Structure 1
Amino acid sequence: MTEASGLHGRLDGRRALVTGSSQGIGLAIAKALSNGGASVCINAPAPDAAFDLACREAGAAIGIAADLTGPDEVERLVAAVTKALGGLDILILNAALQEKQPWSGFDRMSIYRQLEINLAANYRLIQAFVPAMAERGFGRLIAIGSIQQVREHPEMLFYAASKAALESMVRNIARQVAGRGVTCNILAPGAIATARNREALADAIYRDAVLARIPAGRFGTPEDCADVALFLASDAARYVTGTTLFVDGGMHL
């Protein structure tokens, strides 16, 4: 789908930021929001060819390259979005770092990088934009979680932990702003056929093992996630908050 249909799917006049949106799930969400009528800011760590293409494909109102591993870069992103769009109505926290190591051997910098992007940077963005949403009486915070919140990968301990912490943070904030027109939800993908997963899923043995754990019998697509994000961003989801929606074909069951 991803094409907005009917009143509830329209986002005309809304302003959105999708972090980590030069490819995969983030790009699909940015396209869906743009097709729904929103003015969308595309974000990626660096201004490369993929970033330029994503901006064109999504019909982005603005593209801002910012590496969210640094607090200064987060502040620069906030300032640029505010200047370009005048504020935000929809904040999609999609940027994430996933590093694989045995749990007994994680090095300090790997821990820092994953917690900085997956948790700290997201918190700073929430701090920057959600209070103003509450003051205006409308806002949508959608954090992209992971199936690993409930089915942890043995070599991604800190990625899984950071996603579980992000879920807790969003639920906490949801309770505090629910009466002010702001909804806060988590969209948790399962095994999605993206460029990041292409190499792993090219291994037939691994691919078949993962597929066997998905009751729906297929891998998800970025568009499967984008359709749910569009729903959560729309007026149709005005009474949905503090919820984790698994987009995983039943993999969490």
Structure 2
Amino acid sequence: MFDFTGLRALVTGATSGIGAAIASALEERGAVVLRHGLEGADPGLDLDLGVPDAARRLAERALAGGPVDVVVLSASLQIRSPWRELSADDFDRQLRVNLTSGVELLKGLVPGMQERGFGRIVAIGSVQQVRPHPDMIAYAASKAALANVTQNLARQLAPAGITVNALSPGVVRTPRNTEALADEAYLKTVLGGIPAGRIGDPADCVAAALLLCSREAGYITGQDITIDGGMTL
């Protein structure tokens, strides 16, 4: 199981954190992986998804080398700010990176999947879609909307052999939250709300991602797997 030989996968936000872990796991199991990101991405795939039209151009560049069978939407932007102080530009930019660009990217990639009768799409959500952080109103809202999009597209694309699912990580140790978790008092508070008693690692998300991206998961669609050590129980 989980042999990805012969499949091409595009992973957005693949140069660090969860996206990087998933990209490496797919590559280790035979997939040709296209790594998108702002720094350290594959040549030509260093597009800023916060810029209008970047997602369309990313789809074109990915398809230039062949079909794309698997898409992992891991790129995201998180700006911490009390909601009254969050600028409209920062609100809109988070929605574009976390939501709009993913939909635009799929517009370019899904037609080929439909023609071939096969596709795997996995969106990286967040537990914040059900438990929003007060200083991340736009980020949480974008992830809630992404969960809705996942279910919407899953129903529409299932007849073509395309599955659309999501993973919703809890607190995972990534570059984004390194500084916050270095505060011992804050870390203690966070750990107090996680029954597993530890902070997650990007590798904790890999097994579920491999399942949902695999050929074997053709009868799983419209699902959201929460990976949070029990945080949302």
TM-score (norm 2): 0.96
Indicate if the aligned counterparts of 2:75 and 2:98 stay in contact, CA closer than 8 A.
yes
Deviations 1:159-184 (A, max 9, x none): 00000001101110100111221110
Secondary structure at the counterpart of residue 9 of structure 1: coil
Q: 2:54 aligns with which of 73, 80, 95?
A: 73
Structure 1 or 2: larger helix share?
A: 1
For the pair 1:141 / 2:134, whether they are aligned, the reply is: no
Q: Higher mean Cα deviation, 67-76 or 209-218?
A: 67-76
| Equivalent residue number for residue 2 of structure 2 | 9
1:77 aligned partner, one-letter code: L
The percentage of aligned residue pairs carrying the same residue is 48
| Equivalent residue number for residue 80 of structure 2 | 100
Deviation at 1:63, TM superposition (A): 6.3
Indicate if the aligned counterparts of 1:174 and 1:185 stay in contact, CA closer than 8 A.
yes
Paired residues, number: 233
Unaligned runs of 5+ in 2: none
Task: Quote the Cα distance in structure 1 between the aligned partners of 2:138 and 2:56.
Answer: 25
Unaligned runs of 5+ in 1: 1-7, 56-61
| Equivalent residue number for residue 106 of structure 2 | 126
Indicate if the aligned counterparts of 2:154 and 2:222 stay in contact, CA closer than 8 A.
yes
Indicate if the aligned counterparts of 2:55 and 2:102 stay in contact, CA closer than 8 A.
no
2:47 aligned partner, one-letter code: A
For the pair 1:236 / 2:229, whether they are aligned, the reply is: no
Deviation at 1:239, TM superposition (A): 1.2
Indicate if the aligned counterparts of 2:21 and 2:206 stay in contact, CA closer than 8 A.
yes
| Equivalent residue number for residue 39 of structure 1 | 32
Indicate if the aligned counterparts of 2:122 and 2:166 stay in contact, CA closer than 8 A.
yes
For the pair 1:151 / 2:144, whether they are aligned, the reply is: no
1:110 aligned partner, one-letter code: D
Deviation at 1:251, TM superposition (A): 1.0
| Equivalent residue number for residue 160 of structure 2 | 180
Deviation at 1:219, TM superposition (A): 1.1
Q: Higher mean Cα deviation, 35-44 or 66-75?
A: 66-75
| Equivalent residue number for residue 165 of structure 1 | 145
1:169 aligned partner, one-letter code: V
TM-score (norm 1): 0.89
Task: Quote the Cα distance in structure 2 between the aligned partners of 1:239 and 1:63.
Answer: 34
Task: Quote the Cα distance in structure 1 between the aligned partners of 2:83 and 2:224.
Answer: 26
Q: 2:23 aligns with which of 19, 30, 35?
A: 30
Q: 1:83 aligns with which of 64, 68, 72?
A: 64
Indicate if the aligned counterparts of 2:60 and 2:108 stay in contact, CA closer than 8 A.
no
1:178 aligned partner, one-letter code: A
Indicate if the aligned counterparts of 2:44 and 2:61 stay in contact, CA closer than 8 A.
no
Secondary structure at the counterpart of residue 105 of structure 1: coil
2:228 aligned partner, one-letter code: D
Deviations 1:177-230 (A, max 9, x none): 112211100111100011111100001111111111111111111111122111
Task: Quote the Cα distance in structure 2 between the aligned partners of 1:234 and 1:173.
Answer: 18
Task: Quote the Cα distance in structure 2 between the aligned partners of 1:159 and 1:199.
Answer: 18
2:52 aligned partner, one-letter code: P
- Runs of 4+ aligned residues of structure 1 deviating over 2 Å after TM superposition are none
Deviation at 1:158, TM superposition (A): 0.6
